[in-house]
Amino acid sequence: MRNVLEEVRRIKSIKIVHVEAEKPLQAEVGPLPEELGLHPLLVSKLRERGINRLYRFQGDAIRSILAGNHTIIVSGTGTGKTEAFMLPILHKIIMRPSRSVKALIIYPTKALARDQLAKLEAFTSDVFGVSAQIYDGDTPDSCRKKIYAMPPQILISNPDMVHVALQEVPAFKRLISKIRYVVLDELHTYSGVFGTHVAFIMRRIKRIAEEKPVFIGVSATIGNPEEHGENIFGEKPIVISSSMNRRSPIIHVMVRPLGVSRITAAIQLVDLMTKLSLKTLVFADSHRIVELLSRIGRDKGINIPVHRAGLPPRYRRTVEESFRRGRILALAATPTLELGIDIGDLDVIILLGVPPTYSRYLQRTGRCGRRGDTGFVFMILGDDPISAYYERHPREYYSMRPDPVVINLENDIVVKIQLLAMARDRWLMEDEVEECFKDVYRRLISEGYLKIRGKFAIPTIRAVKLLRSRRNLRGTGPTIKIVDERGGFVGTREMPMAMRELYPGAIYYVAGKPYESVRLELDAKRAIVRSLPYFPPYYTIALHTGNLVESEEVESRIVDGVYLRLSNIVVEEQVYAFLVKDTMNNITISEEPLDNILTYSYRTQAVVAEYPAPPHYDFNDRIEGFHALEHALIASAQTIVGGSPSDLGGLSYPSGHIVIYDSVPGGSGLSKLIFRNMNAVHKRAMRILSECNCADGCPKCVFSPYCGNNNRMLSRLKALKILNTILEYKHVREPTKPEGEPIA
């Protein structure tokens, strides 16, 4: 391979900031298959595939599962995790054959489940009488009837399907009543609201099963496998881990654009890599960016197809197949390709910006360099505090460990939906409800969602209607239906993000097509949009503000002299205007006020902190200092606990109160992690503020693209003074309530 880095250095508009070499790590050699007592048929099948000896982590996992232990398997991409859980399951099925489902293997998406079916069939094809079949929303009724009549021993599905089928399909409940194993692959994806729903679904499966099943979790990247496994499964697991990495050497490169946008820099890198015949995948976090990357690339004669949510499944499968077979050399994707969908091995990964978590960095880069030569990962830094921080401290980034995965089992909105679903699965008795959920259970009775018949709670028609309207497991807010001016269905978006993306005048993309929002009717839960016959050379960003309406303390502590409260809150968000920005150079063209302010209130969880101001600060000093400190704390918190910029919201008050909240109804659990790690958040915020060399605030320290008032009233120096003050502060004042108008 030609010296790729030397070629990159020839691009004058790209500066190489840091280069980090990663050597492949081989796992420890483990036992012979026959030493584990596996059935001779399985041993023979392994030898046919050239596997004469297993890795140590595989042997440990097989022993654990055979012993009936709940087990979490953590090992790198492509290291043999499937063998580690499939071999013991198949052994048990062969030893006790029966015509019933013994294992339910759950993948987070339909696409991934169908992609993995072929891999699982490689294990079952030669084992007489053992089969694996898909059961999801795309399974035809004729196939479902065959599954009910002649159940496969292994059933493959996704959480969304299991959630609905447990409630509505008696044949499905009978199908899994004799289940012995439940496997959750890609365990790290079950975080936040989605993970909380899945935790309840696991408890519902356990309730339906005649015998308590063995739970198995599988992941390449997870920072707290034991804690997360226990939260999801409700059972304490044994963790089997390996640092193995079967890839070739990888060169990790941080680069910064010089005088061009990140998109332009990405296109220049793609152009170079494809000319070198290197298979290249570009990751970005938004639909708009990947669509723009593809369109600008096309204008320059560079073929960069798009893979993202919202595109037709047939189109995505065509793109995946073309990329896997090398018919196209470059592909731009949102996180849809973070999971294990088979697109073949890659030479180069290009990341537009720092991924939301380090675990997601590992997921996105896991398939790089597995074609037998050195692989390259280019991370294009932006003008934001997190990029600027890691540009100054690159070794900190590459020495990070996978992030902890958090869920919030106290999310009342999820608890409400799942208790009703549980009662619909099978009538519910009060003593089946965990003590911490009984307040919600009793409220469901008083509100008419459950009625009591003897010792059972039975769902009412009102409950059934609610469950049918709230099938989305990845959010908790009301769903806004998007229709065109003729009434045709375009898509859906959940609140509160719908309010920030579909206000009148907003440019919105669906399946690659640009639309302009005409009207957003919050009461009717409907947005009316018009199709645009061209790609506009601009994009729009909402300006919004917020207010803390209610706050109920859950827990408190003092960190660095600052009084912290973990609180359940009601936050009111308002969208009052939007910016029109030039796509190519990011310059603001205009600021457009809305005729009618959009308002939405919801319950969530937050950290409420009280900071003292230097005595000489006047009112404006306080606003500028606390607002800038809020931005710095949120940026710092994202690097400490993970989470994307849109996962957290913030408010600052002239009284010194700063509120950092989970920006999903009910809460995701991130604010609780911030509450536990506030000392680390303070220290990193201090470095963000003190190491920037700007005059008094810039995109690299305190400006935020998510600021509700367009980064007005900010002072890096005043925020720095406040942080310095708390480190010297000796007396903690009595807790008070926020005063004055907040700044979002």
Query: What DSSP line would sit under 429-454, residue for residue?
Result: -GGGS-GGGHHHHHHHHHTTSEEEET
pLDDT of residue 119: 77
Query: What DSSP line would sit under 496-560, residue for residue?
Result: THHHHHSSTT-EEEETTEEEEEEEEETTTTEEEEEE-SS--SEEEEEEEEEEEEEEEEEEEEEET
Question: 2-33 pLDDT, tens per residue?
Answer: 589 999 999 999 999 999 998 877 778 999 99
Q: Phi/psi zone of residue 215: left (φ > 0), alpha (ψ -120 to 50 degrees), beta?
A: beta
- Cβ burial, residue 338 (10 Å; 0-12/13-18/19+): buried
pLDDT of residue 741: 75
Fold that domain 4-19+248-398 belongs to in CATH: Rossmann fold (3.40.50)
337 — pLDDT class (breaks 50, 70, 90): confident
d(CA 251, CA 437) in angstroms, rounded, equals 49
Residue with tokens 């965990």: 434
| Percent share of the chain, pLDDT over 90 | 66
d(CA 265, CA 699) in angstroms, rounded, equals 19
Q: Is the pLDDT of residue 1 over 60?
A: no
Q: Give the 3-state secondary structure of residue 308.
A: coil
Of 407, 16, 494, 346, the residue nearest 189 (C-alpha): 407
Nearest-10 Cα torsion for 261, 262, 264, 270: 170
pLDDT of residue 586: 74
Q: Give the 3-state secondary structure of residue 602.
A: strand
287 — pLDDT class (breaks 50, 70, 90): confident
Question: 478-501 pLDDT, tens per residue?
Answer: 889 999 999 899 888 889 889 999
Is the bond preceding 237 in cis, omega lying within 30 degrees of 0?
no
Of 192, 291, 195, the residue nearest 644 (C-alpha): 192
Q: Give the 3-state secondary structure of residue 577.
A: strand
Number of continuous H segments (helices) and E segments (strands) in the chain? 24, 26
Of 547, 545, 716, the residue nearest 627 (C-alpha): 716
Q: Is the pLDDT of residue 744 over 70?
A: no
pLDDT of residue 421: 97
Domain boundaries, the chain: 4-19+248-398, 33-241, 412-469, 543-728
Q: Let me know if the fold of 33-241 is the same as that of 543-728.
A: no
Query: What DSSP line would sit under 674-739, residue for residue?
Result: HHHTHHHHHHHHHHHHHH--SSS--TTTT--TT-TTTT-S--HHHHHHHHHHHHH---PPPP----
d(CA 417, CA 414) in angstroms, rounded, equals 5
126 — pLDDT class (breaks 50, 70, 90): low
Q: Is the pLDDT of residue 731 over 60?
A: no
109 — pLDDT class (breaks 50, 70, 90): confident
Question: 651-681 pLDDT, tens per residue?
Answer: 999 999 999 999 989 999 999 999 999 999 9
112 — pLDDT class (breaks 50, 70, 90): confident
Residue 318: CB atoms within 10 Å: 12
Q: Is the pLDDT of residue 370 over 80?
A: no
Fold that domain 543-728 belongs to in CATH: Gyrase A; domain 2 (3.30.1360)
What CATH code is assigned to 412-469? 1.10.10.10
pLDDT of residue 671: 94
pLDDT of residue 732: 56
Residue pair 136/110 in contact by the 8 Å Cβ criterion: yes
Question: 679-726 pLDDT, tens per residue?
Answer: 999 999 999 999 999 999 999 999 987 787 788 899 999 999 999 888
Question: 257-266 pLDDT, tens per residue?
Answer: 998 989 999 9
Q: What is the mean pLDDT of residues 131-150?
A: 93
Of 133, 131, 127, 155, the residue nearest 38 (C-alpha): 127
| Percent share of the chain, pLDDT over 70 | 97
428 — pLDDT class (breaks 50, 70, 90): very high
Of 135, 139, 134, 97, the residue nearest 118 (C-alpha): 134
Our measurement of the distance from residue 281's CA atom to the centroid of its chain's CA atoms, rounded to an integer in Å, reads: 19
Of 246, 248, 241, the residue nearest 56 (C-alpha): 241
Q: What is the mean pLDDT of residues 176-192?
A: 94
- The residues, ordered by sequence, that sit 6+ positions from 492 with a Cβ below 8 Å of its Cβ are 479, 480, 481, 482
pLDDT of residue 58: 96
Q: Is the pLDDT of residue 474 over 90?
A: no
For all residues of the chain together, what is the average pLDDT? 90
Q: What is the mean pLDDT of residues 104-121?
A: 86
Taking the chain, what is the end-to-end CA distance rounded to the nearest angstrom? 50
Residue pair 680/640 in contact by the 8 Å Cβ criterion: yes
97 — pLDDT class (breaks 50, 70, 90): confident
Residue 699: CB atoms within 10 Å: 18
Question: 521-551 pLDDT, tens per residue?
Answer: 999 999 999 999 988 889 899 998 889 999 9
Q: Is the pLDDT of residue 246 over 90?
A: no
Residue 721: CB atoms within 10 Å: 18
Q: Is the pLDDT of residue 306 over 80?
A: yes
Of 664, 607, 627, 637, the residue nearest 545 (C-alpha): 627
- Is the domain covering 33-241 a CATH 3.90.78.10 domain? no
Residue pair 363/642 in contact by the 8 Å Cβ criterion: no
d(CA 584, CA 179) in angstroms, rounded, equals 55
Q: Is the pLDDT of residue 565 over 90?
A: yes
Q: Is the pLDDT of residue 211 over 70?
A: yes
181 — pLDDT class (breaks 50, 70, 90): very high
288 — pLDDT class (breaks 50, 70, 90): confident
d(CA 672, CA 358) in angstroms, rounded, equals 19
Helix axes 159-168 and 192-208, enclosed angle (nearest 10): 40
Our measurement of the distance from residue 7's CA atom to the centroid of its chain's CA atoms, rounded to an integer in Å, reads: 34
pLDDT of residue 255: 97
Residue with tokens 């307040």: 439
